[in-house]
Structure 1
Amino acid sequence: MQTSVLLYSTEGCHLCEQAEELVLAMAPEMHIKKIDIAYDDALYEQYRYRIPVLKNAADAELNWPFDTATLKEFLS
């Protein structure tokens, strides 16, 4: 299982908080680097309707909503 992921999110996003909690519940050792899309116009345009979005080391993305089975596959 990989050890880090990017989490595209923004402040006050309760779904983003849920996604982070789900990742940490499944993989407590996981390092999550949160990227706030509000501070980058290009990221905002790309992700504003899709956050939270996880991105792994292979640049694969997982859009919300996802469940534990989908997340487990994505992280492996």
Structure 2
Amino acid sequence: MSDFYLLIKPNCPLCTQAIQLLHSLSLDEPVELGVVDIAEQQELQEEYGWLVPVFIRGKDDAELRWPFDANQLLEFVEQ
């Protein structure tokens, strides 16, 4: 199982779309996803405020920033 984090903020349609994209993928292995609301952490707001949604891969802290499509997300998750 791979660990990922998704940085979101409230009332973010793109964040909802990113979650839907992840659910639409046909993955070989399950993915554990932690959702982080950047509105609750000032430091994250300053760094990612205009960039969300952002997927972060736990094993190497690599980031996939919006915009991305299902193919790009699949490649990111399977690396």
| TM-score normalized with structure 1 length | 0.88
Deviation digits for residues 3-38 of structure 1 (CA, Å, limit 9, x no counterpart): 331000012111001001111211493222110001
Count the aligned residue pairs.
75
Distance in 1 between residues matched to 2:10 and 2:31, nearest whole Å: 21
Q: Which ranges of structure 1 fall in alignment gaps of 5 or more residues?
A: none
Q: Identity, % of aligned pairs?
A: 35
1:14 partnered with 2:16 = no
Shift of 1:68: 1.5
Q: Which ranges of structure 2 fall in alignment gaps of 5 or more residues?
A: none
Partner of 2:54: 53
| TM-score normalized with structure 2 length | 0.85
Query: Over the residues paired in the alignment, what is the CA RMSD in angstroms?
Result: 1.6
Instruction: Give secondary structure in 2 for the equivalent of 1:62.
Output: strand
After TM superposition, the runs of 4+ consecutive aligned structure 1 residues lying more than 4 A away are: none
Judge conservation of contact 1:23–1:71 (CA < 8 Å) in 2: yes
Report matched runs for 1:1-76 at 5 Å: 3-26=2-25, 27=27, 29-57=30-58, 58-76=60-78
